[in-house]
């Protein structure tokens, strides 16, 4: 039976970034992906925003990895010709009554040492975004957008060059701890064949299935606080972006530490403008990515206070993504990035609850995983 040093499960942006770092520890790395290509789930169904780390509690993994990941992504983009735009972001308080929340978010951003953050007047917003109304706003010059596909491609190349084998159409269906050798991994191919091998170490980057993969290794996910709650986020696209010419990311203010950021306006690198995502809790494990066209009234209404000119018949359905969030009763949930020796699973590393800002945090999270591997 084959034996490898490190198995990474899942080729989303996290698994790819992790595999790109894991090859610095060993060149014997398998990256297993159940789909026929990389990044077909959350990593290609998001806003592609490089977050500045404004919202998260100081000292949380979401705060620290987002800050480090932001700077790493800008520098990777510059040195590897990956398309990006550090366009900046306004978080707007549409009404006077929203400004208290805005100030509280500003204090949080300040505490998180977000570079260049400032409170700005409606006149300053109007000067650069004439169609946006607000009572006050936060400007974040370090927020931007990135071509997430090219970023994933870059991580993939790094992993391949370091010797990793990327195996598509390979769904991990079982994990049996076999100390001291490691773990017996059972894999089902796209054709339905089963194969097994031994891996000394395992890194679970399985996104929407990361709790199930942890359970395969024998972890009681409910007891560990590892169970996921899916929530769907849909997007609509403006039919005539030229008419509006929005230059910045425009977000409505939300409570600090909020799990989602409200329906926002995102210019994309191709010159389009999207509205979204909304938040729709999913009961169970359904992954239906269709966008319900009848929601366009609701989308136009939700941005009306700060973007009054848009009408529902200028919106058409775009993509949707599903967030792999940890179950919560409204309280903040941090990423779980943990080596599980405490649970008797030496060399087993879980990445669970990797919702936003997972894209931004990915290169920094991968560094942490490499340290755990050493």
Ligand X SMILES: Cc1cc2nc3c(=O)[nH]c(=O)nc-3n(C[C@H](O)[C@H](O)[C@H](O)COP(=O)(O)OP(=O)(O)OC[C@H]3O[C@@H](n4cnc5c(N)ncnc54)[C@H](O)[C@@H]3O)c2cc1C
Contact positions toward ligand X, by CB under 6 A? Answer: 9-15, 32-35, 40-43, 45-49, 51, 171-172, 205-209, 213, 233, 277, 321-323, 354-360
Cβ closest to ligand X, residue 103 vs residue 280: 280
Closest to 141 (Cα-Cα) out of 75, 93, 59, 70: 70
How would you classify residue 188: left for phi > 0, otherwise alpha for psi between -120 and 50, otherwise beta? beta
- Beta strands at 280-281 and 228-238: parallel, antiparallel or unpaired: antiparallel
Cβ closest to ligand X, residue 99 vs residue 209: 209
Cβ closest to ligand X, residue 32 vs residue 125: 32
Query: Closest approach of Cβ 231 to ligand X, in Å?
Result: 8
Q: DSSP string covering 206-252, please?
A: -GGGHHHHHHHTT--HHHHT--EEEEEEEEEEES-HHHH---SEEEE
Query: Closest approach of Cβ 162 to ligand X, in Å?
Result: 18
Q: DSSP string covering 78-117, please?
A: HHHT--EE---EEEEE-SGGGHHHHHHHHHHHHHTT-TT-
Query: Closest approach of Cβ 173 to ligand X, in Å?
Result: 7
Cβ closest to ligand X, residue 136 vs residue 154: 154
Rounded to whole angstroms, how far apart are CA atoms 91 and 277?
15
Query: Closest approach of Cβ 20 to ligand X, in Å?
Result: 12
CB atoms within 10 A of CB 288: 10
Cβ closest to ligand X, residue 134 vs residue 336: 336
Cβ closest to ligand X, residue 122 vs residue 174: 174
Query: Closest approach of Cβ 32 to ligand X, in Å?
Result: 5
DSSP classification of residue 327: P
- Beta strands at 182-189 and 194-204: parallel, antiparallel or unpaired: antiparallel
CA geometry: angle 311, 51, 89, nearest 5 deg: 50
Cβ closest to ligand X, residue 132 vs residue 354: 354
Query: Closest approach of Cβ 234 to ligand X, in Å?
Result: 8
Q: Where are the beta strands (DSSP E) in the chain?
A: 3-9, 29-32, 49-50, 84-85, 89-93, 118-120, 136-140, 144-146, 165-167, 170-178, 182-189, 194-204, 228-238, 249-252, 264-267, 273-276, 280-281, 315-326, 336-339, 348-352
Query: Closest approach of Cβ 256 to ligand X, in Å?
Result: 17
Cβ closest to ligand X, residue 42 vs residue 135: 42
Query: Closest approach of Cβ 264 to ligand X, in Å?
Result: 9
CB atoms within 10 A of CB 262: 17
Cβ closest to ligand X, residue 135 vs residue 219: 219
Residues present in the chain in total: 374
Q: Which residues of 187-216 are buried (b: 16+ CB within 10 A; e: fewer)?
A: bbeeeeeeeebbbbbbbbbbbbbbbbbbbb
Cβ closest to ligand X, residue 347 vs residue 353: 353
Query: Closest approach of Cβ 362 to ligand X, in Å?
Result: 7
Residue 219 tokens, joined = 């972890």
Residue 122: its H or E element: helix 122-128
Query: Closest approach of Cβ 241 to ligand X, in Å?
Result: 18
């Amino acid at each position: 039976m084959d034996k490898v040093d490190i198995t990474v499960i899942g080729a989303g942006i996290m698994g790819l970034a992790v595999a790109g770092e894991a090859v610095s520890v060993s060149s014997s790395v398998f990256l297993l992906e159940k789909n026929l290509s990389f990044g077909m789930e959350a990593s290609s169904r998001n806003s592609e925003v490089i977050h500045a780390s404004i919202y998260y509690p100081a000292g949380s993994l979401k705060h620290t990895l987002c800050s480090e990941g932001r700077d790493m992504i800008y520098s990777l983009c510059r040195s590897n010709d990956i398309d990006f735009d550090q366009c900046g972001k306004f978080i707007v308080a549409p009404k006077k009554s929203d400004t208290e929340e805005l100030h509280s978010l500003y204090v949080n951003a300040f505490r998180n040492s977000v570079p260049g953050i400032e409170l700005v007047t409606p006149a300053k917003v109007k000067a650069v975004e004439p169609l946006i109304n607000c009572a006050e706003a936060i400007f974040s010059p370090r927020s931007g957008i990135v071509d997430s596909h090219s970023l994933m491609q870059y991580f993939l190349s790094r992993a391949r060059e370091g010797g990793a084998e990327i195996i598509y159409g390979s769904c991990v269906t079982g994990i049996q701890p076999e100390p001291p050798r490691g773990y017996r991994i059972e894999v089902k191919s796209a054709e339905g064949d089963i194969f097994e091998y031994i891996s000394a170490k395992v890194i679970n980057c399985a996104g929407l299935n990361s709790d199930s993969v942890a359970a395969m290794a024998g972890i009681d996910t409910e007891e560990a606080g590892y169970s996921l709650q899916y929530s769907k986020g849909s997007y609509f696209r403006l039919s005539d972006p030229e008419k509006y010419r929005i230059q910045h990311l425009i977000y409505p203010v939300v409570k600090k530490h909020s799990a989602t950021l409200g329906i926002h306006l995102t210019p994309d690198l191709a010159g389009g403008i999207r509205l979204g995502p909304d938040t729709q809790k999913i009961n169970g494990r359904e992954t239906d990515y269709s966008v319900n066209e009848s929601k366009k009234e609701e989308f136009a209404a939700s941005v009306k206070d700060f973007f009054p000119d848009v009408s529902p018949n200028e919106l058409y359905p775009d993509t949707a993504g599903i967030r792999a969030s940890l179950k919560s009763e409204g309280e903040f949930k941090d990423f779980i990035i943990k080596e599980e020796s405490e649970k008797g699973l030496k060399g087993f590393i879980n990445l669970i609850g990797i919702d936003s800002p997972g894209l931004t945090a990915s290169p920094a999270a991968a560094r942490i995983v490499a340290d755990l591997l050493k």
